[in-house]
Copies of this chain bind each other. A is one copy, B any other.
Amino acid sequence: MASIKDVAAQAGVSVATVSRVLNSHPSVSPDARRRVLAAVEALGYRPNAVARSLRTDQTRTLGLVISDVLNPYFTALARSVEEEARGLGYSVIIGNADERPEQQDHHVRTLLDRRIDGLLVSPADGESPLLLDVARTGTPMVFVDRWIPGVDIPVVRADGHRAIQDLVAHLYALGHRRLAIIAGPAATTTGNERVEAFREAMRAHGLALPDAYIGQGDFQADSGRRATERFLALPEPPQIVFAADNLMALGALDAIRARGLRVPEDIGIAAFDDIPWFVHTGPPITAIAQPTGDLGRAAVRALIDIVEGRPPQSVTLPARLVVRSSCGERTSTPGSNE
């Protein structure tokens, strides 16, 4: 592969001049520029990003560590992150933590070894001294979706309070009183927050949230299945199961079907996170949609603000309720999307 020396030789100039042409430095004669460009073309020369990064101490690369690539919510997020970053001249390396702290740490370490310019993290459940350390050392960093409390790092996330209030009001209006929730891991901020908002919204309607109606999940389908089985085994099972993420909702659906029950006639389902497939499930699932695209874009902009020395900003965007037919809604066109 041709290097800058080859180009210099071919163009009959020094490497310094080649570099200047490539970085559009003003003081290069038109003639030299022409010869360099011709040589670049002739040799099919492409600058070595590795060498450039070593010298300039910047890679124009962002790291994104997410908790589960197979979760459509995170793929959508990853996609918008990459898109925005590309638009701003950055590349993105994605690390999949699979909800495992050690794997998360592995990716963080690898990304740091590669000297990425900034890190976008949606921290997995569990302690991570490493992450705290990285934050302290001043590596540009932004939390997306989930965050670690007590650390001074900008957070870009969706606020579900209002949407959860809307959901509870919607369920209440449909006549449902016994509402259960499948929570996320206690250690994740999103996990706790959603339960609290749910509890509060129920209280506003004079409803209690008994412990038996709080299932412990881990954001994976299987945990949703197990929690739901436990609900169904109760002497008085809930009328609605609200899952704190999309995968657990699918698990809940499985558990209900396995029992031979029907949704929504026997029991209703709602979910946090809306995904395209919820339109096609039987029945289409009522869900709370996060503005994934905006979230990803805002996160990238906040991170690049830090990288380029501007003051960063935490961003909170509202989520919104999308009513379908999994909670006993009477709709004329079931499964209609917006």
Residues of A within 8 A of B (CB): 46-51, 53-54, 59, 69-70, 72, 75-76, 78-79, 82, 86, 91, 93-94, 96, 106, 109-110, 112-115, 221, 250, 253-254, 257, 276-277, 279-283, 335
- Taking the nearest CB of chain B, how far is it from the CB of A44, in angstroms? 8
Tell me whether A114 and B282 are in contact (CB under 8 A): no
**When A and B form their complex, which 6 residue pairs have the shortest distance between CB atoms, in order from nearest?**
A282-B282, A49-B113, A277-B277, A280-B281, A49-B114, A50-B53
Copy total for this chain? 2
Asked whether, in the complex, the Cβ of A59 is within 8 Å of the Cβ of B50, the reply is: yes
Query: Are B59 and A69 within 8 A (Cβ)?
Result: no
Give 20 A-B pairs besides A48-B113, A250-B277, A257-B335 with Cβ atoms closer than 8 angstroms: A46-B109, A48-B54, A48-B115, A50-B50, A50-B54, A50-B114, A50-B115, A54-B54, A69-B78, A70-B72, A86-B106, A91-B110, A93-B93, A94-B94, A254-B280, A277-B280, A277-B281, A280-B281, A280-B282, A281-B282
Closest beta carbon of chain B to A104's beta carbon, Å: 13
Q: Is the CB of B49 within 8 A of A115?
A: yes
Chain B residue nearest to A94 (CB atoms) is: B94
Measured between beta carbons, the chain B residues less than 8 angstroms from A78 are 69
* Nearest chain B CB to A269 CB, angstrom units: 11
A332 to chain B, nearest CB (A): 11
Which B residues are CB-close (under 8 A) to A110? 91
| Bound CA–CA A50/B57 (angstroms) | 9
